[in-house]
C-alpha cells in the first residue's frame, strides 16, 4: 500500500479508520506480551525460589517490589484475560488502545485482532524492537537500510500472511547510554517513516538527557519530531524544564505510568510522582502552551498491574484519573485533548 493511500488514516488491527473514529484512547499499553526481555535474575537462592512462584494475592506485595524478576509476572499470554481487562476499560468509556508490544515481546497480530473483535475496542499495533538486551545476532549484524526495508514491508503489506499492519513503529527501546544496535533501529525507523508516514513511539533510556539524544538521531535520519511520541515521561523527564525542552522539538509526551505510585524495581533511583502530581505537571504544561502534545496511558506490562491480580488496570484512567483531573480544575476541553484529540492526531499517518 502506497503512502498516499495511508495518509490521513490510522491503522488498526482490523483495518484503517478515520482519525475522528479513534475516540477515547490509551496511548501506550500491552495486551498480549512476553516481557521476559526485561527479566532480571535475583542474586540469592531463597529470593529466586520466591521469584519462581506464580503471582497470587498472598505474594503480591513481594512481586510488586521485584516485578521484573518474577517470570510469571512478565507473561501476559492469556487472551481471555486480555479481553476481560479490556472490557472493564470499555465499560467505563474506553474506545481505543495503542498496543506497543513489538517484535521483541512476541507481538501477536492475530491475537490482538481477536481481542479487538471480542471487545469492540480498536487496537493500534506496534512494530520495531525493544532495547539491545533483546537484540539477537541477526539484528546486530543486519544493515540499517535492510532493516528499514523490513519495517516498510510490514507497514505497506502487513505482517507475514496476516495482512495486519502496525500503526506505529514502537515502542522502540533505548538504553542509556545508547547501544549501537539501538541507534541502528532508530535510524531504520526514521527511514521507514520517510517512506510511509508512520508515527514513531520511543522508550527512552533512564536519563533526562536520553530523549533529546534520540530526537536528534531521528531527525538527522529524516524523521519528523512532530510525528514522534516519547513514552515514560513521568519516570524520565523529571523536571519541568526537561519536559519543555522535548516539547519544543515538536515531539509529543506520553504520561504512561498513571496509577503507579512511587515505586520502581530498578537499580536507578527514580522520583516518580503520584497521580496528583501528574495532574499538576500536565496542567502546568497545558498552561505553557503544549495542550496539543500530551497523551496519557497506564502501560500495563505485568500481571500485578491488572485488576485480576489486584492492580489498577487499563480502566484506571477513565474511572479514576479523569475524575481527578476534573476535581483539580481541568476543563473538559483539556481532558478531551489528552484522551481523544491528541491521540488521534499522533496516531495518524502523514
In tens, the pLDDT along 54-66 reads 999 999 999 999 9
Distances (CA, A) of 55 to 63, 69, 234, 295, 323: 7, 12, 26, 30, 30
Nearest to 264 by CA among 295, 227, 301: 301
Predicted local confidence at residue 262, as pLDDT = 63
Mind listing the pLDDT tens digit for each residue in 176-231?
A: 999 999 999 999 999 999 999 999 999 999 999 999 999 999 999 999 999 999 99
Average confidence (pLDDT) over 14-34: 98
Rg (CA), the chain: 19
pLDDT beyond 90 at 75: yes
C-alpha cell of residue 266 = 530498578
Residue by residue, DSSP assigns 314-344 as TTHIIIIIHHHHHHTT--HHHHHIIIIIHHH
DSSP 8-state assignment for residue 9: -
Peptide bond into 177 cis (omega under 30): yes
pLDDT band at 281 (very low <50, low <70, confident <90, very high): very high
Predicted local confidence at residue 265, as pLDDT = 60
Mind listing the pLDDT tens digit for each residue in 85-126?
A: 999 999 999 999 999 999 999 999 999 999 999 999 999 999
| Domain of residue 109, residue span | 3-346
Q: CATH no. for residue 137?
A: 3.20.20.140
The half-sphere exposure of 264 on its side-chain side, counting CA atoms within 13 A, is 15
CA 44 to chain CA centroid, Å, is 32
pLDDT band at 303 (very low <50, low <70, confident <90, very high): very high
Mind listing the pLDDT tens digit for each residue in 33-59?
A: 999 999 999 999 999 999 999 999 999
Cα separation, 148 vs 143, whole angstroms: 9
C-alpha cell of residue 329 = 480544575
**Count of the separate structural domains present in the chain:** 1
Those residues with Cβ within 8 angstroms of residue 312's Cβ, 6 or more apart along the chain or in another chain: 259, 298, 305, 320
Amino acid at each position: 500500500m502506497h503512502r498516499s493511500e495511508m495518509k490521513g488514516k490510522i491503522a488498526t488491527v482490523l483495518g484503517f479508520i478515520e482519525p475522528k473514529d479513534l475516540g477515547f484512547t490509551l496511548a501506550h499499553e500491552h495486551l498480549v506480551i512476553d516481557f521476559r526481555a526485561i527479566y532480571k535474575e535475583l542474586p540469592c537462592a531463597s529470593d529466586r525460589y520466591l521469584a519462581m512462584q506464580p503471582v497470587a494475592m498472598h505474594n503480591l506485595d513481594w512481586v510488586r517490589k521485584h516485578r521484573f524478576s518474577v517470570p510469571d509476572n512478565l507473561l501476559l499470554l492469556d487472551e481471555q484475560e486480555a479481553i476481560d481487562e479490556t472490557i472493564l476499560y470499555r465499560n467505563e468509556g474506553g474506545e481505543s488502545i495503542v498496543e506497543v508490544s513489538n517484535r521483541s515481546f512476541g507481538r501477536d497480530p492475530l491475537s490482538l485482532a481477536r481481542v479487538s473483535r471480542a471487545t469492540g475496542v480498536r487496537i493500534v499495533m506496534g512494530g520495531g524492537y525493544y532495547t539491545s538486551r533483546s537484540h539477537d545476532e541477526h539484528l546486530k549484524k543486519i544493515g540499517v537500510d535492510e532493516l528499514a526495508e523490513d519495517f516498510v514491508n510490514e507497514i505497506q503489506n502487513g505482517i507475514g500472511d496476516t495482512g495486519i499492519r502496525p500503526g506505529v513503529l514502537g515502542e522502540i527501546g533505548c538504553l542509556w547510554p545508547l547501544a549501537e544496535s539501538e541507534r541502528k533501529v532508530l535510524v531504520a525507523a526514521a527511514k521507514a517513516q520517510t517512506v510511509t508516514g508512520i508515527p514513531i513511539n520511543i522508550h527512552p533510556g533512564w536519563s533526562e538527557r536520553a530523549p533529546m539524544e534520540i530526537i536528534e538521531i531521528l531527525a538527522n535520519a529524516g524523521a519528523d519530531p512532530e510525528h514522534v511520541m516519547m513514552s515514560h515521561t513521568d519516570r524520565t523527564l523529571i523536571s519541568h524544564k526537561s519536559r519543555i525542552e522535548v516539547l519544543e522539538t515538536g515531539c509529543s509526551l506520553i504520561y504512561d505510568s498513571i496509577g503507579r505510585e512511587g515505586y520502581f524495581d530498578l537499580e536507578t533511583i527514580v522520583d516518580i510522582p503520584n497521580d496528583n502530581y501528574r495532574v499538576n505537571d500536565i496542567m502546568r504544561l497545558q498552561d505553557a502552551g503544549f495542550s496539543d502534545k500530551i497523551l496519557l496511558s497506564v502501560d500495563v506490562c505485568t500481571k500485578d498491574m491488572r485488576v485480576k491480580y489486584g492492580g489498577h488496570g487499563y480502566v484506571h484512567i477513565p474511572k479514576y484519573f479523569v475524575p481527578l483531573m476534573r476535581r483539580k480544575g481541568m476543563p473538559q476541553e483539556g481532558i478531551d485533548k489528552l484522551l481523544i484529540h491528541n491521540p488521534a492526531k499522533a496516531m495518524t499517518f502523514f
